[in-house]
Structure 1
């Protein structure tokens, strides 16, 4: 493994925007360079560390806080951390960023129009939310606050995933 500068790449966007796809591709590319990476995926975190949380605004803030704390520990251990979660609130994302030294938090807005994300519906969640089986679903009955000034803004409906990842990599504080 190469010694690398540690930082977090925080991917935010609505369900179906492409966060997990880009996170996995980004991890593959950084791993191929011999860099130490760790992927924090929202679904996996909710199966374990955050399984006691629901989807109220307070629980969503706590989900982001906990994820930022884990990411901070991994950055301290010299990992490049890729965090992929909706993180719908600007204030919570700002608090997450505040946990990191300047230049070590790269916010990526994974942007897809609501209609595109709903049409993709990779987990069938939009359909369940529309049926009332899921409450407080981002974009249906819970807000998503678009980032004010993300470090990277990728539009997944118009751009190939590999091109999105290339755009992200160009903005990372890599040593090479």
Structure 2
């Protein structure tokens, strides 16, 4: 599936005046100064799976350890950067494309950036992964059964989706493609939020992303 935004941009010739600006401070210098290994922590899962809550807990744990981090939350991003997008499949693709590019910039700055988005399509998550070095993308599957997500339903979205008020709702009327081999597989239904967050932070420590 190709976003109409991408197709439109592909049809337009790039101006010869647009060139990549080389910064005086390199990526390697930023990484050395921060003394951490930058990466995208890509949280994916159904609505109500606990993505944002766990990502926030991880972000707080890392912050308390003195790690330079930032959290890009799906709802928050739609208030600004992606405020013009709806929830059709094409808009979801564009939503993830934009977030992926922003996350790439954070990695270039030497920061560990978390993204909490449903990101239902395997192809979109692959596009995000391919933007950075293979070691800089960590897919985190927040694996929570649909019935558990639906029982939580903090915003009443599942109820609206079941009644037909919301179209293209992931898990109900729109597909969610589960990750085949995520770097971290979190079974949220079996653990507390703290235990889920500790599992992720331990992975980062064990793989030398943090010291």
TM-score range, shorter chain: over 0.9
1:46 is displaced (CA, Å) by 1.0
Aligned residue for 2:190, secondary structure, equals coil
2:91 paired residue number: 59
Q: How does 1:6-85 map to 2 (within 5 A)?
A: 6-85=38-117
Larger RCO, structure (CA 8 Å, separation 6 or more): 1
Structure 2: state its 5+ residue gaps: 1-32
Greater CA radius of gyration, 1 or 2? 2
Are 2:200 and 1:168 aligned?
yes
When you count helix as a share of all residues, which structure comes out higher?
2
Residues 106-159 of structure 1 deviation map (CA, whole Å, 9 limit, x = unaligned): 000001100000001111111111122211000110000000110001111111
- What is the root-mean-square deviation in Å for CA atoms of aligned residues? 1.2
Structure 1 runs of 4+ aligned residues shifted over 3 Å read: none
Aligned residue for 2:160, secondary structure, equals helix
1:147 paired residue number: 179
TM-score by length of 1: 0.96
Q: Retained in 1: the 8 A contact 2:59–2:69?
A: yes
Number of residue pairs matched? Answer: 176
C-alpha distance in 2 between matches for 1:82 and 1:175: 14
Shifted more, 127-136 versus 110-119: the winner is 127-136
Q: Retained in 2: the 8 A contact 1:2–1:34?
A: no
1:166 is displaced (CA, Å) by 1.4
Are 2:146 and 1:114 aligned?
yes
1:2 is displaced (CA, Å) by 4.9
Structure 1: state its 5+ residue gaps: none
TM-score by length of 2: 0.81
Q: Retained in 2: the 8 A contact 1:21–1:161?
A: yes
